[in-house]
Amino acid sequence: MGATKTEHFTDKQNEIATIAKALGHPARIAILEYLTKVNECICGDIVNELPLAQPTVSQHLKELKNAGLIKGSIEGSAICYCIEEKTIEKLQDYFAHISINLEQKNNCC
Amino acid sequence: MGATKTEHFTDKQNEIATIAKALGHPARIAILEYLTKVNECICGDIVNELPLAQPTVSQHLKELKNAGLIKGSIEGSAICYCIEEKTIEKLQDYFAHISINLEQKNNCC
DNA sequence: ATAACTTATCGTAATATTGCAATAACAAAA
DNA sequence: TTTTGTTATTGCAATATTACGATAAGTTAT
């Protein structure tokens, strides 16, 4: 016991959960916000920006990349990272869908 | 080591991360989607809906509630749960803001 | 009061995450 | 080739999460 029962949920549910999980850490939110501000940057810029060691930042970048929230392209000896817009749009659509379904409904709370 | 360095990030960053973290599990996504569909329900309904034991569901509901994603009101001997729309809107606004800032920008990737 | 119903909490085992020092891996420059 | 610059990986300790049986705690019905 202890492991998430991924197989009991739909692919879509697992996908949204994976993306949300990647955003479930303030350092990764900070990275996303920094990338939003500067549009693109290399890992070292983020290391300078955040109060975390380089291996830790690298690990956070890896998780954001695995979740499809950012992408990186090799730029000489460095790697240029930027936000994957499609995934942000996917989240927007997801929450918009919930909002629309909640409108004009009364409930107990 | 091992604990998240919450104090190094802004309140807003921690808030978004906390909400995202609560959504970072397929069971909690499934609960949110079920609540979207039925508008309101009691814990027992979710236990019947999901392949998880009652204490596990109760724990997931607690996390969603702590993150401000759902609210519950006592209804006789049961508790009626429903979605906190404001928090969903907060997420929508957050991702919309990122999207708008990314538009009309070219980058390396 | 007691039984039935509903949800929360406790305790615990299994698993996952976080953070970083040390180090590897790789490209570009000297 | 050696050095420099950049990022990824490994290994490990600390902490957090997940799941559930057992049980407590509350309300309603009998």
| pLDDT tens, N- to C-terminus, chain B (109 residues) | 568 878 899 999 999 999 999 999 999 999 999 999 999 999 999 999 999 999 999 999 999 999 999 999 998 889 999 999 999 999 999 999 999 999 878 788 8
**Positive or negative, the Cα torsion across A53, B98, A25, A92?**
negative
CB contact under 8 A, A24 and B20: yes
CB < 8 Å to A13, chain B:
26, 29-30, 33
Q: Which two tokens stand for residue A90?
A: 């996917």
CB contact under 8 A, B101 and A36: yes
Phi then psi for B74, rounded to 5 degrees?
A: -70, 130
Q: B interface mutation test: which of A4, A7, A9 has the most B CBs within 10 A?
A: A9
Measured distance CA(A89)–CA(A97) in Å, rounded = 12
Phi then psi for A73, rounded to 5 degrees?
A: -130, 140
Measured distance CA(B6)–CA(B3) in Å, rounded = 9
Using an 8 Å Cβ cutoff, are B88 and B32 in contact?
Answer: no
Gap from A68 CA to chain B (nearest CA, Å): 13
Give the model's pLDDT for residue B103: 82
Measured distance CA(A26)–CA(A77) in Å, rounded = 28
- Does residue A104 have a pLDDT over 80? no
Contacts of B31 (CB under 8 A, 6+ apart): B46, B50, B57, B60, B61, B64, B70
pLDDT tens string A29-69:
999 999 999 999 999 999 999 999 999 999 999 999 999 99
Among the partner-chain residues A14, A18, A92, the one whose CB lies closest to the CB of B96 is A92
Q: Is A108 exposed, middle or buried (0-12, 13-18, 19+ CB in 10 A)?
A: middle
Tell me the whole-structure pTM to 2 decimals. 0.95
Give residues 36 to 75 of A whose Cβ lies within 8 Å of B. 36-37, 39-40, 50-52, 71-73, 75
Return the amino acid letter for A61.
Answer: L
Q: Strand A70-75 relative to strand B41-42: parallel, antiparallel, unpaired?
A: unpaired
Is B58 in a helix, a strand, or coil?
Answer: helix
Q: A interface mutation test: which of B29, B57, B93, B104 has the most A CBs within 10 A?
A: B29
- Contact of A79 with chain B, judged by CB distance below 8 Å, is answered with no
Strand order in the sheet with B78-83: B41-42, B78-83, B70-75
Residue in chain B closest to A12 (alpha carbons) equals: B26
**Which residue would you say has higher pLDDT here, A102 or B106?**
A102
Residue in chain A closest to B83 (alpha carbons) equals: A102
